[in-house]
Amino acid sequence: MVQSKKLTAGIIRNDRLMSDSRTIRYYDSAGQTRDAKDARPVEEQPSIGELRLDPLVNEWVAMAAHRQGRVFLPPKELCPLCPTTGELLTEIPESDYEVVVFDNRSPSLRPPMGDWALPDIAGPDTDLGTAAGKCEVICFAANHGNSFKDLSVERVRVLLEAWIDRTEELSQESFIEHIAPFENRGEEIGVTISHPHGQIYAYSYLPPRVMKMLEAATKYKNETGKILFDEIVHREIRDKERIVAQNSRWIAYVPYAARYPFEIHVAPLNPVADLTGLTSEDRDAFAPIALEVMKRLDGVFGIEMAYIAAWHQAPVRVGRDVMRLHWQITSVRRAPGKLKYLAGSESAMGAFIMDMRPEQSAAQLKEVVL
């Protein structure tokens, strides 16, 4: 397999095989040649995990026992996400890259062998399923010390194109029901490799929070004829107080009922179901607001904030008429030396307690001088 594909905005994707048969995809804006070989010895692939139903709440839990031994905070000299150099053979065979996406070496979810179907939800005796799905890693900066906010507008455009391309391609797989590109940053929230990178989780089931969003959106549509998410954005525009950034195509706000000390939602003003629906104007206008939001977040305390930045999309096959694309950034940092933890109320009961009003965190974000 050597595949080359033209995407929008002059971006080209080139696919290569890694030594253990995983695929690596290079997304480039300048027509680079990508022919470096993965010279590492072949390693055994982990087997697929289990999917078990938690009958107390009717939620699937994926069991990926092989992940216990995964790479844990390697020093910079051994970073597997840096480009390959003479001494160090990494996940990326090339000596430089713009954006690359490759299959995760310790995936929580894996493509199934042969036919596959999710077991019916029935209760405590529900059959075991296999943890089908796909996990990919997305790297967007060859420089180990960079962050998302240090990227150029052009690089964020390539990154967005890669997210869109992955959503489009993964949506074709019969065993995939939902696609979530996200980035975790910060050791405080468990990042095990400090090189900036994101992940793409493609689930074979609707994740519990997506299921709940789908239920709320469907109920609202049935009762009012309106799209819930669009009404939420209208309310934020009307209230104005929690808007932290805006341009002609996108809006960024701290939601009315934020549940983290710093939480920002970024949504296109012309709503779409998922990343593939974004127009070229939307695509071009995303980088400026994304970079502004990330700079504001790090500017609040003048430190690198730990965060989770996740794309919420409509599921692949259901709810596409009621669900809307948005990018959700949440940070557990509530003050320079203090984090918000999910303890008894949040974790055991699911009841979030916020120590800060959303209007206050919105004001702090707006006050940052860029």
**Considering the complex, what minimum distance in angstroms separates the CB of residue 327 from a second copy?**
10
Distances (CA, A) of 116 to 49, 120, 131, 204, 211: 14, 12, 10, 10, 21
Closest alpha carbon to 156 in 328, 284, 325, 4: 284
Please give, one letter per residue, the 3-state secondary structure of 26-52.
EEECCCCCCCCCCCCCCCCCCCCCEEE
Cβ distance to a second copy smaller for residue 40 or 366:
366
Q: Which of 356, 363, 366, 368 is the binder for a second copy (CB under 8 A)?
A: 356
Q: How many residues does the chain have?
A: 370
Contact segment (CB under 8 A) with a second copy among 34-42, 58-66, 272-280, 291-299 equals: 58-66
- Is 197 annotated as catalytic? yes
Contact segment (CB under 8 A) with a second copy among 79-87, 111-119, 224-232, 277-285 equals: 224-232
Cβ distance to a second copy smaller for residue 9 or 128:
128
Site string for a second copy, 175-214 (x = CB under 8 A): ---x-x-xxx----xxx-------x-x-x-x-xxxxxxx-
8 Å CB contact between 156 and 291: yes
Site for a second copy in 293-312 (CB under 8 A): 308, 310, 312
Q: Which of 16, 157, 166, 334 is the binder for a second copy (CB under 8 A)?
A: 334
8 Å CB contact between 220 and 235: no
Contact status: 259 vs a second copy (CB under 8 A): yes
Q: Which of 68, 172, 222, 280 is the binder for a second copy (CB under 8 A)?
A: 68
Contact segment (CB under 8 A) with a second copy among 80-88, 148-156, 242-250, 331-339 equals: 331-339
Measure the CA–CA gap between 196 and 190, rounded to whole angstroms.
13
Which residues, 6 or more positions from 348, have their beta carbon under 8 angstroms from its beta carbon? none
Contact status: 349 vs a second copy (CB under 8 A): yes
**Considering the complex, what minimum distance in angstroms separates the CB of residue 188 from a second copy?**
8
Site for a second copy in 105-124 (CB under 8 A): 108, 123-124
8 Å CB contact between 11 and 165: no
Residue 365's SS3 state is helix
Residue 165: how many other CB atoms lie within 10 Å: 21
Contact status: 330 vs a second copy (CB under 8 A): yes
**Catalytic residue list:** 197
